[in-house]
A and B are shown apart, each in its own frame.
Chain A
Amino acid sequence: MKRIFLSAALALSFIAANAQSDRYKSAMEKLIATLDTTKTVDGYTELGNSFQRVAEAEKTQWLPYYYAALASVSAANNMFVTGQTDKIDPIVDKAAPLIAKAEELQKDNSEIFILKKMYNTAKMMADPMNRYMELSPVAAEALATAKKLNPENPRVPLLEGQDLFFTPEQFGGDKNEAKKKFEEALKKFEAFKPADNLAPHWGKDQATYFISQIK
């Protein structure tokens, strides 16, 4: 009887654990779906907070930290696009500890280096005159590492393309070269299979959008 009770308890706890994991999955799926459609700084802030809650409750999952950081970097990019460069710093600074936490839990992941590249580029964009020399090589190196860790990651050519797209021509920017990169990204998105439905899958729309912007 004792043994039966014990196995029942074990089974129960197994169910509970499974149930929690289901809860994690469904919560994350919902948040990631929202992230895919979010466009505003307030939206990103709210989402970032939600991901951060999941991250801190779970403690051992790197993905919620990853997405929380991605939300703050995306908010910073939004600030950059709308010309509010003076507000970038406090927003993007939130990402640094989150990226560090994600990396603690998941070493040598191409996606985390993608995030590092985006973080450093956003940071540089806040004050390019003074930060270009220091941060631009750091960002470039992070992207190079992301490429080395997973040459098939479609977000690598996407970001390479964005650099070429946004850099003025006299500084080595090249829209045609950028287009090639976006097309390469699209090809890689076709082949890319995310590990599961929580793994990073974003970027295809962006590649399509940038191609549409280049004649």
Chain B
Amino acid sequence: MKLLLTTALSLAAVISSQLANSQSVLKGTVTNNKSKPLPGINITLKDTYDGATTDSLGRFSFSTTEKGELTLVASSTGLKPFEQVLKLTKDSSYNFAIQLKEEITELSAVVVTAGTFEASDKKRTAVLTPIDVATTAGANADVTAALKTLPGTQQVGESEGLFVRGGTAAETKTFIDGTLVNNFFYSSIPNISTRSRFSPFIFKGTVFSTGGYSALYGQALSSALVLETIDLPEQSAGSLGFSPLGISGGLQKLAKNKKFSWGFNYDYTNLWAVFKVLKQRQDYIKEPEYHTGDANFRFKTSATGMVKYYGYFSRNKLGFRENSIDSTGYKDRFGLKNFNMYHNLSWREGLGNGWKMNLGVSYAYNQDDIDGGMQNSSNQDVVLQGLEWKDFGLQSKGKYFNAKAVFEKRIVGLSAARFGVEYNNSNDNPNYTDYTNQHYDFTIQEHLKSVFAETDIYLTNALAAKVGGRFEHSALFDRSNIAPRASLAYKLGKESQASLAYGMFYQNPETRYLRSVGNLDFAKATHYVAQYLKTNKNITARFEVFYKKYDNLVKTGTQYNNDQVAANNNGFGDAKGIEVFWRDKKTIKNLDYWVSYSYLDTKRDFLNFPTAMQPSFAAKHTGSLVMKKFVTAWKTGFNMTYTYSSGRPYYNIYNDNGINKFADRGETDDFHNVSFSLNYLPKLFSKGANKFTVLVLSVNNIFGIKQTYGYKYSYNSIRKEAIVPPSRSFVFIGLFMSFGVDNTENVINSNL
């Protein structure tokens, strides 16, 4: 036995020394498909330690004592690995010329970006980050206000919403976690624009499409704003906010296993104190007061699955009077009470085998109680002869249910097919009360069913296409439509790409123009977009041209109490333009700025327009300059936004026996606005930074430049008055704190 072992051992020694003596030499070069040498490539003889790393000329050389059938692998991240089986015998010698192809990956592949702006931390093609939304001066943490500094949008100050490329605000629809949001903005107030309801801090991703958007979305002639809420928070935290406008507080709790979180926020806003200091044009009977609460829970269902709930409640009221344009010496009184709630539940899950699923439902209820009337000089309610219609009540109730299911299957690489269904149910119930206390009750109910499909086709890393279509059926109008969508992107260089988008878009006539459905049809828009985009970490350059054609726009007929009522779909129009966006974070040290410019040429004939003309919500030239500078020594961020808009047309149109005619028309002065804000972070990075404090000061229209949004006319067209902001400037000061609520955080923060 012992002998045998010794023999075996010596045998092994002999064999191994012999092996050591006979070596195979493997050498070669590695290039990419353009024959450029690739350095740093890992060359491996599979399952052995032997191999090499290519040098700066892509060369490698190594020797091995291995024998037999072995596999040579050349690999590096982002490249498709190369493999070759070799038969190594005594003193083999090999010379390789290896070509590695790029792998189609999300990091390197071209992305279809025509018509879209993205705010994200992760995406290479994103132009903004979520923090940008919160720190843009003049935006006051309103998502849509920050988007108004991007090209394609209008600086419309007299009403809320995003007016995109010659479209009305109603032509932009908002989606949260895939499903449609109704009443995204606070209820309208005459000639004052309201904010969007939701805090920007609940969203981690924003996709703002100014044209040619995906078949997953519909019912928006101009634009889709797609918001994605955050997943689980990084840590448990509480927050408190104080400002002269009100107080807010909230709590987010993350479970120990990091698979479940819940939270709530409450915000009370009352503009009483602020309006005492900053004089408003309107004389407030009831200063705006808002109670807003939200609640959420989120849990992981698997490694890739997540269920999210977000719920929102708001109760707010306001009332004011202002000098009546219709009758001198008298005042118009306006009161609004609003209740709104919104619930969104979504579930996304990877189903294995390349399948993914996204389900979402949302329910919203909105109630506006509007009370209008006239008052005399001693603020007593009066009803004037001939102006009785100004004394009215309007209670509008809306119930909205939206559901959507999207399924996705990865085919090869990044190529994927997506399809799904959507259901939108709306029940609008306006109840009008006239001065004689007579009620007029309407109900407009719509069931809109949609089916859509879309496919991403990646031919190479440099060429990708997205082709899709959408079918919709409206129960209200008993009409259907089919909307094809297509886009193409081509990578021109490492940092630059070109893309094209085409699509047809349909939208229901707005319910506000409906008294009866009649023989109405969808309005239609066709988009053509071409884009050049260059991005790297410090510079974004984006150039876009578009053409948009409108068909079947709603024309209104006879008026009822100054209300326009939809009559037919004979309206039409078009819009074309050029847009430039430039962002630079590097050239000037510590200064991050972007510049937007839009040229818009649009005409349309819709509603009561006597002819095809430039609508009053569209300016020819619009531009913005946004600057952000963080001064580290002062722990303070300074932000400045300048917005410009050339004059917008205004019209006074009256109906002369069924024919619409101009009583007056003109163009406003150019619009300029400079806003400024600073964020002071006294405890930034400091020890015990589990308290994170931000002091915000913002001033809108800091130079008090006179701004005119348009003109309003008395009912009889005799008097004309400029529509201007409620106050020249607006100042906001607030203190916001967030603090950790887990003890474990002390450990973390001791390291900061």
Contact = CB atoms under 8 A, between A and B. Distances in A.
B752 A172 contact: yes
A134 B234 contact: yes
Contact of A137 (B53, B234, B537): B234
B560 interface: no
Contacts of A45: 40, 53
Contacts of A54: 49
Contacts of B52: 49
Interface string A6-50: 011001100110010001000100000000000000100110011
Contacts of A137: 234-235, 748
B632 A168 contact: yes
Contacts of B686: 171-172
Contact of B747 (A4, A94, A134, A144): A144
Interface in A102-147: 127, 129-131, 133-134, 136-138, 140-141, 143-144, 147
Contacts of B536: 86
A208 interface: no
Contact of A163 (B39, B53, B632, B751): B751
Contacts of B303: none
B127 to A, nearest CB: 13
Interface size range of chain A in the complex? 35 or more
B4 A130 contact: no
A140 B49 contact: no
Contacts of A94: 77
Interface residues of B, number: 43
Contacts of A172: 685-687, 689, 752
B144 interface: no
B121 A131 contact: yes
A170 B49 CA distance: 49
Interface in B650-703: 684-687, 689
A180 interface: no
Given A4-B4, A57-B49, A90-B77, A42 B684 contact: no
Contact of A57 (B47, B632, B633): B47
Nearest to B43: A49
A170 B121 contact: no
B44 A56 contact: yes
A131 B121 CA distance: 8
Interface in B539-598: none
Interface in B200-257: 234-235
A123 to B, nearest CB: 12
A141 B479 CA distance: 57
Contacts of A4: 1, 4
B685 A171 contact: yes
Interface stretch (B5-13, B388-396, B398-406, B509-517): B5-13
B671 to A, nearest CB: 32
Chain A CB within 10 Å — which of B42, B632, B686 has the most? B42
A103 to B, nearest CB: 15
Interface in A168-182: 168, 170-173
Nearest to B692: A133
B228 to A, nearest CB: 15
Interface string B23-64: 000000000000000011010101111111100100000000
Nearest to B131: A130
B80 interface: no
Chain B CB within 10 Å — which of A15, A46, A49, A143 has the most? A49
Chain A binding surface, main DSSP class? helix
Contacts of B159: none
A53 interface: yes
B635 interface: yes
B186 to A, nearest CB: 29
Contacts of B56: 42
B42 A171 contact: no
B707 interface: no
Given A57-B48, A137-B235, A130 B752 contact: no
B21 to A, nearest CB: 17
Interface string A53-90: 11011000000000000000000000000000010001
A140 B48 contact: no
Contacts of A49: 40, 42, 44, 51-53
A94 B422 CA distance: 41
B354 interface: no
B53 A170 contact: no
B749 A138 contact: no
A15 B121 contact: no
A160 interface: yes
B78 interface: yes
A167 interface: yes
A117 B733 CA distance: 38
A52 interface: yes
A73 B712 CA distance: 65
A93 interface: yes
Given A15-B12, A134-B234, A136-B752, A170 B632 contact: yes
A129 B684 CA distance: 13
A53 B62 CA distance: 14
A127 B537 contact: yes
B49 A53 contact: yes
B92 interface: no
Contacts of B39: 42
Contacts of A46: 40, 53
A102 B4 CA distance: 40
B129 interface: yes
Contacts of B748: 137, 140-141, 144
A134 B121 contact: yes
A137 to B, nearest CB: 5
Contacts of B51: 49-50, 53
B8 A11 contact: yes
Contacts of A15: 8-9, 12
B40 A42 contact: yes
Interface in A147-169: 147, 160, 163, 167-168
B639 to A, nearest CB: 14
Given A56-B47, A57-B48, A12 B685 contact: no
A133 B235 CA distance: 11
Chain A CB within 10 Å — which of B49, B51, B53, B537 has the most? B49
Interface string B717-752: 000000000000000000000000000100111011
Interface in B322-358: none
A139 to B, nearest CB: 8
A163 B752 CA distance: 7
A30 to B, nearest CB: 10
Contacts of B77: 90, 93-94
Contact of B1 (A7, A93, A131, A173): A7
A143 B751 CA distance: 8
Given A11-B5, A57-B49, A94-B77, A86 B537 contact: yes
Interface string B600-638: 000000000000000000000000000000001101000
A45 B234 CA distance: 32
B626 to A, nearest CB: 15
Contacts of B632: 168, 170-171
A143 B750 CA distance: 11
Contacts of A173: 685
16 contacts: A7-B1, A8-B5, A15-B8, A52-B42, A56-B44, A56-B46, A93-B77, A134-B121, A136-B752, A137-B235, A137-B748, A140-B749, A140-B752, A168-B632, A170-B632, A173-B685
Given A53-B48, A140-B751, 14 more contacts: A8-B4, A8-B5, A27-B49, A42-B39, A45-B53, A50-B53, A52-B42, A53-B50, A86-B537, A140-B752, A160-B751, A171-B632, A172-B686, A172-B689
Interface of A: 4, 7-8, 11-12, 15-16, 19, 23, 27, 42, 45-46, 49-50, 52-54, 56-57, 86, 90, 93-94, 127, 129-131, 133-134, 136-138, 140-141, 143-144, 147, 160, 163, 167-168, 170-173
Question: Which 3 pairs of residues, A with B, have the shortest CB-CB distance?
Answer: A171-B685, A49-B42, A46-B53
